[in-house]
């Protein structure tokens, strides 16, 4: 691999070389058509050449050091049997660029003898999820150490996705027996009556984001089999009334669109050996007029600080979708 180097923009240029001892792993490390190396070049502004088992790096000294750390991190993952995809490359770059997050990961590496702690890595059947921001790392820790977690923040910060991944991981290992995913179907339940089809056909479109996260973490046939067996349940919040959710990982998405009564009902479904995650964006409330306040804001104001209950707040800086999503959120939340 060799491409035309990026022009030097300052005198602070540096060169480095990384030598890998297992050349047979480099195809996985580099990616199809060297896409992982191209991503590194584009994101860090460095020039990369690869010949045999040697990779040359050139660019600003700080960026070359970051690229070297990312390559070594990804190589270690490949050596441990992990699949390196675009998301993992982005996550590794984020860790190299964020000293706080890098410190969290390195501390866990040291404490666990070179193996990453579950708090900063979630393994599912289809992929391994690692934190891309300090807030995500903190969130992952809370998901393993608290009974009830409120995750607040804008779209694209991974609130629901990370929670679903953690739930799938616990279902796979047998830590819980059921995975229950819920969200308010629409702003006002009576509107469902105007939609065609039976109840499932009416509400499924509103639950689609939860299905998408499931299919991203489990093979499709496993999702369908576990739904059929009742191990996984995806249902609107109204279906939770009168139940006790024991031995389950329970996730409520779009919680800002619950009423205070709905939220109280949902939270009091909590049962033995369960974990409950409540996700929402307090700035995107779609409740109809006449309802005094969002159940999410009310619950957080009452429960923050209670033993066993944790709150993670994400900001626009934690958006991990396409960079333009962060800019859109920032534009809408900025001065009018």
Q: What is the pLDDT of residue 167?
A: 93
Residue 72 or residue 103, greater confidence: 72
Answer yes or no: is pLDDT of 267 > 90: yes
Statement: residue 177 has pLDDT above 50: yes
Tell me what pLDDT residue 114 has: 41
The answer as to CATH 3.30.1370.10 being correct for domain 13-97 is: yes
pLDDT given for residue 8 in this prediction: 42
Q: Report the Cα 75 to chain-centroid distance in Å.
A: 22
DSSP string, 155-192: TTS-HHHHHHHHHHHHHHHTS-SEEEEEE--SSSGGGG
Residue ranges of the chain assigned to CATH 3.40.50.300? 120-333
Architecture of the CATH domain 120-333: 3-Layer(aba) Sandwich (3.40)
Tell me, what's the pLDDT at 204? 64
Mean pLDDT of 125-142: 82
Q: How far apart are CA 271 and CA 262, in angstroms?
A: 17
pLDDT above 60 for 102: no
Strand runs labelled E in 217-262: 232-236, 248-252
Mean pLDDT of 316-330: 72
Pick the closest to residue 216 from 293, 161, 257, 173 (CA basis). Answer: 161
CA 193 to each of CA 201, 261, 336: distance values in angstroms, whole numbers, following the listed order = 11, 22, 37
What is the average pLDDT across 119-145?
A: 80
pLDDT above 50: residue 192: no
Ordered strands of the 309-313 beta sheet: 232-236, 178-183, 248-252, 275-280, 148-152, 309-313
Say yes or no to pLDDT of 229 above 60. Answer: yes
> Which pLDDT tens digit goes with each residue over 38-77?
988 988 889 999 998 999 999 988 889 889 988 988 898 8
Q: pLDDT tier at 311 (50, 70, 90 boundaries)?
A: very high
- Tokens 């890595």 -> residue: 121
| Region 302-317 average pLDDT | 92
Q: Return the pLDDT at 203.
A: 56
Which helix (H) or strand (E) segment holds residue 54: the answer is strand 54-60
Closest by alpha carbon to 154, among 293, 335, 321, 275?
321
The region of weakest confidence among 47-56, 74-83, 101-110, 200-209 is 101-110
Neighbours of 215 (CB within 10 A): 14
Per-residue pLDDT at 196 exceeds 70: no
Per DSSP, 81 falls in state: T
**All CATH 3.30.1370.10 domain ranges in the chain, comma separated:** 13-97
Contact residues for 172 (Cβ-Cβ < 8 A; gap 6+): 124, 125
């Amino acid at each position: 691999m060799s491409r035309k180097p990026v022009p030097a923009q300052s005198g602070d240029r540096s060169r480095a070389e990384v030598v890998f001892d297992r050349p047979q792993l480099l195809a996985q490390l580099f990616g199809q058509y060297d896409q992982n190396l191209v991503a590194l070049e584009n994101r860090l502004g460095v020039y990369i050449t690869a010949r045999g088992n040697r990779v040359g790096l050139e660019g600003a000294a700080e960026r070359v050091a970051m690229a070297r750390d990312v390559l070594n991190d990804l190589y270690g993952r490949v050596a441990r049997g992990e699949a390196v995809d675009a998301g993992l490359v982005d996550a590794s770059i984020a860790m190299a660029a964020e000293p706080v997050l890098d410190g969290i990961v390195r501390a866990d590496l040291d404490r666990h003898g070179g193996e990453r702690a579950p708090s900063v890595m979630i393994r599912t059947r289809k992929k391994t999820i690692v934190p891309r921001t300090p807030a995500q790392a903190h969130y992952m820790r809370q998901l393993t150490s608290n009974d009830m977690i409120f995750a607040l923040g804008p779209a694209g910060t991974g609130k629901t996705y990370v929670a679903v991944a953690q739930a799938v991981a616990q279902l796979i290992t047998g830590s819980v027996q059921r995975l229950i995913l819920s969200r308010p179907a629409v702003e006002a339940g009576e509107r469902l009556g105007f939609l065609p089809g039976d109840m499932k056909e009416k509400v499924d479109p509103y639950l689609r984001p939860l299905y998408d996260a499931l299919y991203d973490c489990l093979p499709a046939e496993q999702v369908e089999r576990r739904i059929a067996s009742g191990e996984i349940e995806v249902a609107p919040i109204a279906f939770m009334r009168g139940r006790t959710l024991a031995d389950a990982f329970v996730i409520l998405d779009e919680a800002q669109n619950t009423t205070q009564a709905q939220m109280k009902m949902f939270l009091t479904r909590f049962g033995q050996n369960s974990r409950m995650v409540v996700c929402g964006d307090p700035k995107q409330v779609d409740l109809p007029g006449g309802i005094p306040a969002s159940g999410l804001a009310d619950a957080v104001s009452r429960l923050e600080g209670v033993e066993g209950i944790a709150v993670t707040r994400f900001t626009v800086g934690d958006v991990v979708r396409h960079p333009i999503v962060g800019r859109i959120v920032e534009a809408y939340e900025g001065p009018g």
